[in-house]
Amino acid sequence: MSISSSENSNRLKIAIQKSGRLSEKSLALLKECGIQITTSPNALRAEASNFPLEILFLRDDDIPEYVQDGVADVGIIGENVMLEKGKKLELIDKLGFAKCRLSLAVPRGTTYDDVSFFDGKRIATSYPKILGEYFKEKNVNAEIHMISGSVEIAPSIGLSEGVCDIVSSGSTLLSNGLKEVETVLKSEAVLVANPDFNGEKRKNFEKLLFRMQSVRRSNKNKYILLNAPKSKLDAIIAVLPGLKSPTIMPLANEDWVSVHTVINEDDFWEKIDALQEAGAEGILVIPIEKMIV
């Protein structure tokens, strides 16, 4: 089936990382939004069969420029890359995966008190812009050396006294004899857009964004069922904000009811503790497949 040129120009283009730490989750997110794509492993682009969407597979470092230039309309990248590249992009949403931090580290045996340690020192990093801004804010005058890969070996080969690099568990730093001393930036995957695209394409984007946000909400929220003695119902409901208000259902034992609602994972365990203290029993927690509000 051929696609007319107007359909073609209405088709949204999203850039995602071709192969790396963002790739799998970016594709999974599109899939959870109901987007069907068949990709061959080496393809540079793919088309969705059931949504006006084209997917471009690129190196993450190139995505900000492609989106700024309008080659892609939107893209998924790490916040760290977005800030480092300093392009004119609209930050649409944080996506909750690829969480990591950009940290300063020094050789393990170093005596370190505070960030003024870095005054007059050489620091190796792939993030000279973010680090430069950080040092400026902290009034530190350091010599930043830009290295594009294997930053963590710089101190051991005498290139620098410290490094500023992406950390998640810290095991790479540890295995290179380094210790983390400052967090420069906390990062996660973000959805960015070219600020200037509109019309039909924008509408398609809004539709996709709505789906993404529903997926995000459902991943973050849990459906909870519990049994409550009627005498303690008010105290239990007070713990549960719910979407609007919880559903209350009668049980065979007339002194008890069943309460159903949705709770947010951010303060999940605090809520569970508070519910138990308030008299809730038989608490069941169920993942949510989709959440449309």
Among Zn ion, ligand ATP, none, what does residue 21 contact (CB within 5–8 Å per kind)? ligand ATP
Rounded to a whole number of angstroms, the minimum distance from the CB of residue 33 to Zn ion is 25
Q: Could you say which DSSP state residue 19 is in?
A: S
Retrieve residue 193's tokens: 């857009």
Our CB check for ligand ATP shows the closer of 20 and 86 to be 20
Q: How many CB atoms lie within 10 A of CB 133?
A: 15
Q: How many CB atoms lie within 10 A of CB 219?
A: 16
Q: Give the Cα separation of 280 and 33 in Å (integer).
A: 35
Please identify which residue in the block is written with the tokens 């303690």. 232
Interface residue with ligand ATP, options 12, 15, 16, 22 (CB under 6 A): 22
Rounded to a whole number of angstroms, the minimum distance from the CB of residue 185 to Zn ion is 16
Task: Report the C-alpha dihedral over residues 262, 266, 267, 269, rounded to 10 degrees.
Answer: 90
Our CB check for Zn ion shows the closer of 47 and 61 to be 61
Is residue 35 involved in binding ligand ATP (CB under 6 A)? Answer: no
Q: Give the Cα separation of 83 and 65 in Å (integer).
A: 12
Rounded to a whole number of angstroms, the minimum distance from the CB of residue 71 to ligand ATP is 16
Is residue 182 involved in binding ligand ATP (CB under 6 A)? Answer: no
Our CB check for ligand ATP shows the closer of 100 and 140 to be 100
Rounded to a whole number of angstroms, the minimum distance from the CB of residue 85 to Zn ion is 11
Our CB check for ligand ATP shows the closer of 152 and 161 to be 152
Count of residues interacting with ligand ATP (CB under 6 A) = 15
Among Zn ion, ligand ATP, none, what does residue 98 contact (CB within 5–8 Å per kind)? ligand ATP
Among Zn ion, ligand ATP, none, what does residue 152 contact (CB within 5–8 Å per kind)? none
Is residue 65 involved in binding ligand ATP (CB under 6 A)? Answer: no
Interface residue with Zn ion, options 13, 18, 29, 60 (CB under 5 A): 60
Our CB check for Zn ion shows the closer of 60 and 79 to be 60
Q: Of 187, 179, 123, nearest to 155 (Cα)?
A: 123
Q: CA of 255: how far to CAs of 88, 132, 251, 259, 266, in Å? A: 61, 65, 8, 13, 32
Contact segment (CB under 5 A) with Zn ion among 55-63, 64-72, 89-97, 182-190 equals: 55-63
Contact segment (CB under 6 A) with ligand ATP among 74-82, 109-117, 251-259, 276-284 equals: 74-82
- Vertex 141, ends 138 and 145: CA angle to 5°? 110
Contact predicate 159/144, CB 8 Å: no
Q: By CB neighbour count within 10 A (0-12 exposed, 13-18 middle, 19+ buried), where does 33 fall?
A: buried
Rounded to a whole number of angstroms, the minimum distance from the CB of residue 62 to Zn ion is 8
Q: Which of residues 136-175 bind ligand ATP (CB under 6 A)?
A: 166, 168
- Strand pairing class (143-146; 12-17): unpaired
Contact segment (CB under 6 A) with ligand ATP among 35-43, 58-66, 128-136, 252-260 equals: 58-66
Retrieve residue 117's tokens: 């340690």
Please identify which residue in the block is written with the tokens 């983390």. 180
Among ligand ATP, Zn ion, none, what does residue 104 contact (CB within 5–8 Å per kind)? none
- Strand pairing class (162-167; 122-125): parallel
Return residues touching Zn ion (CB under 5 A).
60-61
